[in-house]
Amino acid sequence: MRNILKRMGALLPGIGDRKRFERTAAPSPTETERDLSLAREMLDVKAQELQYAWEHAHKLDKALQQLDVLYRSTAEHVSASRNDAILAHTYGSEKPTVPSLIVPDLPPSDRDVRIAERLLKAYHRAAAEESARRSAASGDSWAWIKTLQGEFFDALERKDPHYLAEYLGAMGRRDATIGIDQGNIEFEKLTNDPGKRDQMALHLKDKLLSLAEAVGAFPCENPEQGVWGKGLHTQTDVLVECIERTLGIDISPPAIDGGLLKISSSRALFCERDCSALYTAWSIRQILAKQSEVSVCEIGAGSGRVAYWSHRFGPTRYTIYDLPHINVVHGNYLLRSLPEDQVVLYGEPNASPASAPTTILPYFCMEKTPSRSFDLIFNQDSFPEIQSEIVTGYLNWIKRASRGLLYSLNHESRPLTIGGDSLQVNVPELIDKVGGFRRLSRSPYWLRRGYVAELYTILDQAG
């Protein structure tokens, strides 16, 4: 009996209570019957409670299933409406078909292997220094993205230039470009879902049309009067010719984007970042139009396309500060697209903002920058994703390192940090909190809805 009660007690608290059931003397038949009756009553109560709990669990499960169906239908509706809202233009009753292709992988040449060797040396110098400093950030979007880039870090740790060159030749479909251009996750979606690929191609055409409008090469449509819903039906070649005629340069991007989805024209291929980088570089040149040669600093350079186009628009001394592994990404792009001797990496001779047309450095080198080194410092699409304490440090550094201007191209919607539980940074609010800046202009960013272009001057340099 004692063993029975112990086993029951493990399942039903109270039944195994020694004070209630154990006695020093052997129980009489009457007492045993009474104890068993009490145990049966308690089992009946517990059985009723379990039945009640099961019924409610069943109801809850049905409710959760209904909620899941509602969520999925709502999410699909919201996703579809957001996809449509990303477009800056309407296309009328007939959706245009936009020719596109995924750029084939680029087999590595001897030059590519030589470039990869330089990138590896610079990366390992920077990674060792970062480790010694214990300065790597944690808790922001880029710290989380690093956890998805195992293949990239494996390619870096192998220290094999040929292997890295081969990996970088298909970077558009690799994990190195997550959060930058496309990345392996988006690549899989695009290759497995023709509908998504068609929608993305339309988005890319929308960016090219926005670029044409932004630089004054193509007229903006007006929903109140005149032609409406025709712009996206314009042939890609026509848009390219209009932009080139207005800017006075060939806008064909370097043919080095293996694995990346692009829309096609008769002469060149274009992705979203090609268009936005071209416009950003052009807008910076407009801001600094009175200067024949300019000195620009970019904090967080992504693939490095803005640096490339900045050189195409005229003499520019360009400095990039970023994470050591991302230095590899834009280092690869710029070394392949510009003369190799015009790009200097961390640890190489003359690796300073004052000594080379293009200098690529890890973020911790910012502290060594002389005061008033740059005509303009800018950040595009990354300050919101970084911890506010780090961005605050950058803003205070900018007040010292810039000769007068800060250019911010960022969103202000404050979503949750990717992979985290904190809200992203609102750049204008943080600039106001830090102090020492005065806003000169504010306007929507032409090539990306929901993004804002703001130009600031530094107060103690404003005169």
Residue with more model confidence, 65 or 427: 427
Provide the pLDDT for residue 1.
43
Give dist(CA 339, CA 354) in Å, integer.
Answer: 18
Residue 261 lies in a domain: no
Mean pLDDT computed over 202-207:
97
Q: Would you state the pLDDT for residue 35?
A: 77
Task: Tell whether 55 is covered by a domain.
Answer: yes
pLDDT of residue 111: 98
Please state at what angle helix 324-337 crosses helix 110-133, rounded to 10 degrees.
Answer: 160
SS3 of 174, please?
coil
Of 148, 140, 152, nearest in space to 363 by CA: 140
Residues in the chain, how many?
463
Domain residues for the domain of 8 are: 2-69
Sign of CA dihedral 318, 365, 363, 381: negative
Number of compact structural domains in the chain: 1
**CA–CA distance, 262 with 409 (Å, rounded to integer):** 23
CA atoms within 13 A on the CB side of 264: 8
228-234 long-range contacts, CB within 8 A, separation 24+: 228/90, 228/92, 229/89, 229/90, 229/91, 229/92, 229/93, 230/92, 231/89, 232/87, 232/89, 232/90, 232/91, 232/96, 232/202, 232/205, 232/206, 233/91, 233/92, 233/94, 233/96, 234/209
In-domain check, residue 389:
no
The strand pair at 358-362 and 316-322 is best described as parallel
In-domain check, residue 450? no
| Angstrom distance (rounded) from CA 173 to CA 381 | 21
Which of the pair, 101 or 22, is modelled with greater confidence?
101
- In this structure, is residue 143 part of a structural domain? no
C-alpha to C-alpha distance for 344 and 164, rounded to whole angstroms? 19
DSSP track, 303-365: TSHHHHHHHHTS-EEEEEEE-HHHHHHHHHHHHHHS-GGGEEETTSTT-STTTSSEEEEEGGG
How many C-beta atoms lie closer than 10 Å to residue 406's C-beta? 25
- Cβ-proximal residues to 50 (8 Å cutoff; 6+ apart), any chain: none
Q: Does residue 226 lie in a domain region?
A: no
Phi, psi torsion values for 240, nearest 5 degrees:
-60, -45
Helix (H) or strand (E) holding 373: none
158 versus 8: the higher-pLDDT residue is: 158
N- to C-terminal Cα separation, the chain:
95
SS3 451: strand
Distances from the Cα of 392 to the Cα of 8, 40, 432, angstroms: 62, 68, 11
- Is the predicted pLDDT of residue 108 greater than 90, yes or no? yes
CB 449 within 8 A of CB 391: no
29 or 231: which leads in pLDDT: 231
Q: What are phi and psi of 326, to 5 degrees?
A: -75, -25
Per-residue pLDDT tens digits for 218-261: 999 999 999 899 999 999 999 999 999 999 999 999 999 999 99
- Confidence bin at 352 (pLDDT 50/70/90): confident
CA angle, residues 293, 355, 116, in degrees to nearest 5 = 110
* Mean pLDDT lowest among 69-83, 84-98, 223-237, 410-424: 69-83
Q: What angle do CA 324, 327, 331 make, to 5 degrees?
A: 150
Chain mean position to CA 373: 28
**pLDDT, position 187:** 97
Contacts of 22 (CB under 8 A, 6+ apart): 2
Given a contact cutoff of 8 angstroms between Cβ atoms, the answer to whether 362 and 322 are in contact is: yes
Residue 60 has pLDDT above 70, yes or no: no
Instruction: Please indicate, yes or no, if residue 34 is contained in any of the structural domains.
Output: yes
Query: Is residue 82 one of the residues assigned to a domain?
Result: no
Least confident stretch, 138-147, 300-309, 327-336, 385-394: 138-147
Write the pLDDT tens digit of every residue in 297-308.
999 999 999 999
Classify residue 139 as exposed, middle or buried by CB count within 10 Å of its CB (0-12, 13-18, 19+).
middle
DSSP 459: G
Mean predicted confidence (pLDDT) in 158-181? 97
